[in-house]
Structure 1
């Protein structure tokens, strides 16, 4: 089982336009609502692929009730932590060319007792889990070391600990030497303090973090695929999506596929290929939709026989 914690979940409202004009009156050609937030997306992708998961989420306000309903409708087992404030409603504007514009609210202010209740719920769910993944930004009022404070307590329950965040929460968590971190290209650059224009630079940064005691560093690179580094090996995989629809949640689906592979004791390279397949399949779907097994089977990721170290990223 894979447990996720999403301290700042949302209801995601995706609106599809045939064209975008700033300041105009725009009429949507399609729209959808999904349960959102990085860890929520991970659990949704796992559940859609018949993998056991539990999503720990704070729930408050009308949006919180809607979030719980949406999770139930998609078959995600969830543990709700009641809070007094209303969770976020995020809006994504999708254009036919594949461009996505996101409008994210900050989230509710959580009290100390509400934050502690999230920690307690996560630790309870961690008993018997293969992985606990803590994901995303933190709402106002939550200490930036909440992920770091969970690391050893999760591992004491026999689960491995994964972090997918950015900024200060990620930096604090890295000091605890989690079993896995999954930054994207920009988050990794921010973490190491300098730009990473090529795959060689990303590999060097990943190996630096591995040498500090992190077992697995997996870096999502958008259309350039993903790189994974451990103490003993480094692998790169990518897939081509000819008609991208939405990038919302693609990195979360990549993490879901990767953790699913690792929890199934697949070799590192196969787990990465699976992660890239899940993430790439998500790009071909609207809004923050997560891929089903049929969607994943339509993707054919390739594992680089040799690392393309000179690859310039983002081009």
Structure 2
């Protein structure tokens, strides 16, 4: 079972538009409403893969009730922590050329009692978990050290933990030795404080996160592929994508594929790449099912192309 923790979930509305023109009336060609938040997306992808998951998340107000109802309709078990503030609503505008514009609301501020209730819910529901996946930004009321405390508690209980966050929350958690961290290229560059221009730059940056405490780093490099850097070695994986429809949740689908395949080694990386490549071809934040995957198109190699320029370098 994979337990996911989403401290700042959302109700996500995605509109597909021909083009985004400021100051003009833009008529959408498609619309979706989905339960959102990085950990929520991981649970949705794990469920689509036929694995059991439990989603722990603070929920409040009418948007929170709708998030719970949408997850229930998808067969996902929800461990809700009631909060006084309303769950945030986010908007994504997906243009026909693949450009995505996101408007993310800040979300409610959690009280001290709500913070402790969230930690206690994770503790009580993680007893039979193979992995805990902690994902996304922290809401107001949670200090950057909150994820570090959660990693420490998980390890004390003997549970492996994956962390997908950024900024101070990521850096504060590294000394607690999360079993895997999953930054994208921008988050990786931010963590090491320098630009990334090549695959080799990204591999070296991932190695630095390991030196700071992460046991493994699964780095999403967008159209360039993914890297896995661990004690056992470094691997690079990629797969062709015919057309990008929406990259919302693609990184979350990758993490779900990685954990569902065991969370270690090149086989898990191949699963992550297959899930990520499938996700970008789906509308909104739809998570890929097994029928959407093309494992044969995935290549994984220990010969990392260190000199290959990134298609989307990070300054």
Correspondence for 1:289 among 286, 289, 304: 286
User: Which residue of structure 1 aligns with residue 194 of structure 2?
Assistant: 194
Q: TM-score, normalised by structure 1?
A: 0.96
More deviation in 291-300 or 72-81?
291-300
In the TM superposition, residue 211 of structure 1 has moved relative to its aligned partner by 3.2
Identify if the C-alpha distance between structure 1 residues 299 and 101 changes in structure 2 by more than 3 Å, giving closer, same or farther. farther
Mapped partners of 1:61, 1:246: distance in 2? 28
User: Which residue of structure 1 aligns with residue 25 of structure 2?
Assistant: 25
Matching of residue 279 in structure 1 with residue 276 in structure 2: yes
User: Which residue of structure 1 aligns with residue 204 of structure 2?
Assistant: 204
Q: Is the 8 A contact 1:6 1:40 kept in 2?
A: yes
| 1:231-287 superposed Cα distances (whole Å, 9 cap, x missing partner) | 231000011111110000000100000011125xxx610100100101110000000
In the TM superposition, residue 299 of structure 1 has moved relative to its aligned partner by 6.8
| 1:57-93 superposed Cα distances (whole Å, 9 cap, x missing partner) | 1110110000000101111111000000101110000
Mapped partners of 2:24, 2:208: distance in 1? 48
Mapped partners of 1:261, 1:87: distance in 2? 32
Q: Report SS of the residue matched to 1:306.
A: coil
Q: Is the 8 A contact 2:107 2:140 kept in 1?
A: yes
Correspondence for 1:314 among 298, 311, 314: 311
Length, aligned pairs only? 312
Q: Is the 8 A contact 1:110 1:139 kept in 2?
A: yes
User: Which residue of structure 2 aligns with residue 262 of structure 1?
Assistant: 262
Mapped partners of 2:9, 2:28: distance in 1? 25
Mapped partners of 1:220, 1:299: distance in 2? 20
Q: Report SS of the residue matched to 1:314.
A: strand
User: Which residue of structure 2 aligns with residue 63 of structure 1?
Assistant: 63
In the TM superposition, residue 209 of structure 1 has moved relative to its aligned partner by 2.4
Q: Is the 8 A contact 1:207 1:231 kept in 2?
A: no
In the TM superposition, residue 305 of structure 1 has moved relative to its aligned partner by 5.5
User: Which residue of structure 2 aligns with residue 121 of structure 1?
Assistant: 121
Mapped partners of 2:50, 2:258: distance in 1? 15
Q: Is the 8 A contact 2:234 2:302 kept in 1?
A: no
Q: TM-score, normalised by structure 2?
A: 0.96
Mapped partners of 1:44, 1:232: distance in 2? 29
Q: Report SS of the residue matched to 2:122.
A: helix
Within 5 A, what are the aligned runs for 1:40-189? 40-189=40-189
| 1:94-141 superposed Cα distances (whole Å, 9 cap, x missing partner) | 111111110100101111111111111111111121111111001111
Q: Is the 8 A contact 1:62 1:86 kept in 2?
A: yes
CA RMSD between the two structures:
1.3
Mapped partners of 1:211, 1:101: distance in 2? 34
Mapped partners of 1:105, 1:188: distance in 2? 24
In the TM superposition, residue 298 of structure 1 has moved relative to its aligned partner by 7.2
Q: Report SS of the residue matched to 1:62.
A: helix
Q: Is the 8 A contact 1:218 1:229 kept in 2?
A: yes
Mapped partners of 2:195, 2:95: distance in 1? 29
Q: Report SS of the residue matched to 2:163.
A: strand
Mapped partners of 2:62, 2:270: distance in 1? 39
Query: Could you list the runs of 5+ residues in structure 2 that have no partner in the other structure?
Result: none
